[in-house]
Structure 1
Amino acid sequence: MLPRILMIEDDQRLAGMVVTYLQQNGYEVAHAATAAAGLAELEASAPALVLLDLMLPDADGLDVCRRIRALGAPLASVPIVMLTAKGDPFDRVVGLELGADDYLPKPFEPRELLARLRAVLRRPQLAAPDSGLRQFGRLAIDSGARRVSIDGQPRTLTSYQFDLLLALSGSAGRVLSREHLVDAVKGESLEPFDRSIDVHIGRLRQALEDDPKQPRRIITVRGAGYVFAKVQDA
């Protein structure tokens, strides 16, 4: 699955060029010309990164950044790269303080944009602060109490399995590679041919799936990794 970028930019000519360039370099790109359309697309598609213009016709980009960071997990933690035509560094500082991960002043070289996007996407993404409770249909995850239940019935997990579940559910709807999961849980790189993560996924499925042989919560994406289903049975 290609990494999905959401570009919120009202300059149609610039957006067209950026979309084409990023697609040529292996990204799937959605474009929205207004803040309202961009926020709707964000909630609908859960992109890997948002490329956000500072000046939009219906809202200030800083306000859009603030609204994204106020959303619930996992959308609140989506990386944001801001585009600004303003020369005043104050706006850039405010953007970073509001939670933007990087900024790029216009005009910019497409290669620099690509390099910055790749750099941001390589950073480990921290889970957004929340109430500690994540609910996915019948499945409830209480990160504070480190408890998991289905239909109110507790399920027993090891500490490692619980941390793995937090990493998966914190990026619900996004494909996570084995390498990403090992790094998120253990803070170390995956050794070549190390399939231990698959064993832990299998044990998680035994604990959480109605039918572990036909999983509907933790789904394998061949050649890419695993995705935790954002929408689950009620």
Structure 2
Amino acid sequence: MTPIGRTRTRGVQTLSLDSPDTRNALSAALVAALSDALADCAQDAGVRAVVLTHTGTTFCAGADLRDPPAPDALVALLRQLVALPLPVVARVTGHVRAGGVGLLAACDIAAASHTATFAFTEVRIGVAPAVISLPVLPRADPRALARYFLTGERLDAAEAVRVGLLTAAGEDVDAVLAPVLDGLRRSCPQALAETKTLLTAKVLETFDRDAAALTALSARLFSSPQAREGMTAFLERRDPEWVV
């Protein structure tokens, strides 16, 4: 069974992260399936825009610690989202953690319900938000990121909008997105693609400049003794040994 659901309405292709049993964690299988679905959208002349959403109460819990994707595979997926010649809109009605926030940042527009929460939890398991910093750092407030990267604190939807992780939030996320999707449906496909190229140029420069170094950093940290302790503690639902 594929971990990605697909539906289409009036030129808008919706891709749903559909592994609720793992809180839509980024497993090797989910990353590969989402990459394939995005590639199909790019080749389909009937698709005007892509909506990335989810089943269950969590948009994405970050990396699947039992079946993590290779760091370069996650980099490739994030870059694919940024470079896709179609607008990508994130629709969030659940919680977002770590690598899931990277997915949001790689989308062109992101909206969430007021009940959604967000956190960069990497530091709490002994690693760093290395790979996901590629789309996050160019798009969000540096002072806010310093706090939330270093502490792993939760943000609510209003704060996520304030710091630039979200475009908008509201009680009804579909009402928030209705005028966005209407605007995309009314826009010329060629103009959308060229305008997206203008908007993402600096983000892609960051990928091309820093991806190799950050992929190596991610691999080194994930194989470290402190990360093994942090991930074991997480899976055992206890504090890691460094908590004071």
Q: TM-score, normalised by structure 1?
A: 0.32
Bigger RCO (CA 8 Å, 6+ sep): 2
